[in-house]
Amino acid sequence: MPGDAHTDLLDPGQTDRPSGGPAGRPDDGPAAAWLAASGLLEADLIRRDAAPRTLRAYRVDVEGLARWAAPQGLSPAAVGPREIRRYVAHLSERGAAPSTSARKLAALRALFASQREHGMIAQNPAELVATPRRGSQLPKVLSARDAARLLDAIPASSPLEARDRAMFELAYSCGLRAEELVSVGVGDIDHDGEQLRVEGKGRKTRFVPVGEPALAAVRLYLERSRPALAAAADPASRGPAPANLFLSRTGRALGTSDVRRRLQAWTQRAGVGRDASPHSLRHSFATHLLDGGADLRAIQELLGHASVSSTQIYTRVESARLRSAYARSHPRA
């Protein structure tokens, strides 16, 4: 991250900043303390090899608390559990979902853990604040039939169509997160071993089997379509095409928003999976494995979950499916 990434922790033009320095200069008082705390956390995360996306997310969440706390004269050392609870309530009042507040609270726990490690505070106030209860909404899952309809509806007659077919076949075959999908490199696929090397959250590497339909789609894309997309890159402005497997029409690496947009277009055309997202394919992958008899530990490893508790949500999907079937079918349900 650039060295000036934190200079907008507070709006320099705000007039209600506490006294102690010239207006418009966050170089002393609470603003400076939040800037320093954020810098320490960033350094700690970089030492732990945190992903750039994680660094950005934590920075945004820390900035949110800083913007709320500094105008009240609160530095990190002056924030206790009571202030954290007030901030969480503030987020709720502004319409933040419980899941959003829970994510932000996790970032604040990391911030104050960093402060404690460096001897700035005696205890972590965020550890004493309960995580907002998240809703019990189950993940959206395509049926096996709808997943097949979606993938079979994507032709391979043009480079972009062949790319999309290979991309979504691979996503469903391996249960990939969108970020993992766009990060797959050409060299990450072992065609002979029929497996994919995936770099997941926390830079943790796992190897996932790849099904034959996905391998066939990827081979076709590599042979006929990716060279054409790579040739579209403009060396004068962008340099050579990246090593990423999936490229845009201009030869650049795809972003997660590109994947989401393309999936929405194909689900609409196929008439399946309304509001489906790339994560829906990941959820479908796990649910269909469970339906087929795979155990939770195996699914946990394939998904790259750090804890099996994250994987257990799919047992709730199965339970909900069985209850629905019972309600539809049993004469005295």
115-137 as b/e: b if 16+ CB within 10 A = beeeebbeebbbeebeebeeeee
Looking at residues 91-117, what average pLDDT do you find? 92
Q: Sorting pLDDT into bands at 50, 70 and 90, what band is 112?
A: very high
Looking at residues 240-264, what average pLDDT do you find? 91
- Are 244 and 184 a contacting pair, CB within 8 Å? yes
Q: Sorting pLDDT into bands at 50, 70 and 90, what band is 251?
A: very high
Q: Sorting pLDDT into bands at 50, 70 and 90, what band is 14?
A: very low
Looking at residues 274-298, what average pLDDT do you find? 88
Per-residue model confidence (pLDDT) at position 193: 94
User: Which residues pair with residue 206 across a beta bridge?
Assistant: 198
Residue 275 above 80 pLDDT? no
What is the widest separation between alpha-carbon atoms in the chain?
76
Amino acid at 299: I
User: Residue 84: which of 36, 37, 132 has the closest Cα?
Assistant: 132
Looking at residues 279-296, what average pLDDT do you find? 89
Range with the poorest average pLDDT among 76-80, 195-199, 287-291 = 287-291
Residue 299 above 50 pLDDT? yes
How many Cα atoms sit within 13 Å of 238 on the Cβ side? 13
In angstroms, rounded to a whole number, what is the distance separating the alpha carbons of residues 160 and 262? 10
In angstroms, rounded to a whole number, what is the distance separating the alpha carbons of residues 37 and 111? 7
161 versus 11: the higher-pLDDT residue is 161
Looking at residues 284-309, what average pLDDT do you find? 87
Residue 24 above 80 pLDDT? no
| Model confidence pTM above 0.75 | no
Per-residue model confidence (pLDDT) at position 7: 42
Q: What is the DSSP letter of 208?
A: E
Cite the active site residues.
177, 201, 279, 282, 305, 314
| pLDDT, tens digit, 9 for 90 and up, residues 175-196 | 999 999 999 999 999 999 999 9
Residue 13 above 70 pLDDT? no
Per-residue model confidence (pLDDT) at position 82: 94
| Strands laid side by side in the 195-199 sheet | 189-190, 195-199, 205-209
Task: Spell out the domains of the chain, with CATH numbers in brackets.
Answer: 29-128 (1.10.150.130), 144-329 (1.10.443.10)
Per-residue model confidence (pLDDT) at position 309: 75
53-67 as b/e: b if 16+ CB within 10 A = ebbebbbebbbbbbb
How many Cα atoms sit within 13 Å of 313 on the Cβ side? 17
**What mean pLDDT, rounded, does the chain reach?**
85
268-294 as b/e: b if 16+ CB within 10 A = eebebbeebbbbbbbbbbbbbbbeeee
Residue 171 above 80 pLDDT? yes
In angstroms, rounded to a whole number, what is the distance separating the alpha carbons of residues 281 and 168? 8
Looking at residues 25-36, what average pLDDT do you find? 78
241 versus 110: the higher-pLDDT residue is 110
Per-residue model confidence (pLDDT) at position 26: 41
Looking at residues 2-19, what average pLDDT do you find? 40
Looking at residues 125-132, what average pLDDT do you find? 90
Per-residue model confidence (pLDDT) at position 155: 94
